[in-house]
Amino acid sequence: MQIVVHLEHPVPPLTLSPRQAEALRRALPDHDVRVCRDEAAFLGELPAADAVLVWKFLPEWYERAPALRYVFTPAAGREGVAADPRGKIIPRHGTFHGRVMAESLLAMIGFVNRRFAAALDAQRRCAWNRAPYLTTRRLAEQTALLVGYGNIGRRCARLLKAVGMTVSALKRDTRVGTEGADRVFAPDELHEALWTADHVACMLPSDTGTDAFLDRAAFAQMKPSAAVYNIGRGNAIDAGALEEALRAGRIAAAFLDVVPEEPLPAESTLWSAPNLFITPHVSALTADYLDLYFEELVLLLERLAPQG
């Protein structure tokens, strides 16, 4: 196949390096891998492409690629690569992200559970204070509820269970893909699921039906000692309701890697909400991001070869 690659991104680890381009060619000796460094060059190669590897693909570009059979993207989210208006080609997204995101979630849970925010504050004040730690509990005594239980959720479950946590899952279809969960809840059982959880981790996509999935009513059902995490998409949590719950002490803490508006505006009151910790949409980011994806892509292309 002729594979046209356009992987340029403002974040350096997400841009194809010369080393990675050469490694990809060596790993795919039976394919013609063509690397484009700008959109004009990519569109020039597109008419002859059998496959593309991209961060962005517009709906009108499908008609410009009569030979196209595959659209590959490292992204987990669906925002950058449009669906084929003709319905002929289904974009294939990366599925490796859970390997990194599970580590991120475990780090967030550990940070909150071991009161590291209090430790940092005490260090700034040169205070030797054990009081915040007197009510800590081992993770092995606690339950994590994973709201959204696809590839990423199952990978998170494996790591959380490795440290002894009980893992509950909430997913649309409770009949399939439930491995690794100790208990599975359907969406209409959300409030029951929330009350059982010490840590509520949201990893929902931004598709239909996920807007403000965790809202004011949901926060009211959580334990006062519970912590909330979002490593999915920012639309899934009602940020105003979350901030209100934190300021009122109705939940203990929250860790947001994604927010409704990114970058989060400097004037947002979320920055100052008590016991709210924010990272800039990096739960899947690592220096070898594209290397991890290419491992997956090479295996995928081997499976697709008989169809070629």
Give per-10-residue mean pLDDT for the chain (308 aa).
Answer: 97 97 97 98 98 98 98 95 96 97 98 97 97 96 97 97 98 96 97 97 90 98 98 97 98 98 98 98 98 97 80
Instruction: Cite the residue boundaries of each domain of the chain with CATH code 3.40.50.720.
Output: 2-94+287-307, 98-278
32-36, long-range: CB within 8 Å, 24+ apart, which pairs? Answer: 32/1, 32/2, 32/3, 33/3, 33/5, 34/2, 34/3, 34/4, 34/5, 35/5, 35/6, 36/4, 36/5, 36/6
**Which residues are tagged catalytic?**
233, 262, 281
Check residue 276 and give its pLDDT: 98
Of 262, 228, 230, 263, the closest CA to residue 244 belongs to 228
Q: Where are the beta strands (DSSP E) in the chain?
A: 2-6, 32-35, 51-54, 70-73, 92-93, 143-147, 166-170, 183-185, 199-202, 227-230, 253-256, 276-278
Question: Taking CA 153 as the corner, what is the angle to CA 152 and CA 154, rounded to the nearest 5 degrees?
Answer: 95
Check residue 31 and give its pLDDT: 96
d(CA 254, CA 274): 9
Q: Which run of H or E residues covers position 45?
A: helix 39-45
Q: What is the pLDDT of residues 38-92, one digit of tens each?
A: 999 999 999 999 999 999 999 999 999 999 999 999 999 989 999 999 999 999 9
Check residue 307 and give its pLDDT: 64
The tokens of 127 are what?
A: 């205070």
Check residue 306 and give its pLDDT: 67
Of 118, 302, 78, the closest CA to residue 208 belongs to 78
Of 307, 306, 287, 288, the closest CA to residue 296 belongs to 288
Alpha carbon distances (Å) from 255 to 104, 181, 201, 227, 305: 11, 22, 9, 8, 42
d(CA 105, CA 96): 15
Check residue 305 and give its pLDDT: 78
**What's the CATH architecture for 2-94+287-307?**
3-Layer(aba) Sandwich (3.40)
Check residue 207 and give its pLDDT: 80
Fold of 98-278: Rossmann fold (3.40.50)
Check residue 104 and give its pLDDT: 98
Q: Where are the beta strands (DSSP E) in 7-161?
A: 32-35, 51-54, 70-73, 92-93, 143-147
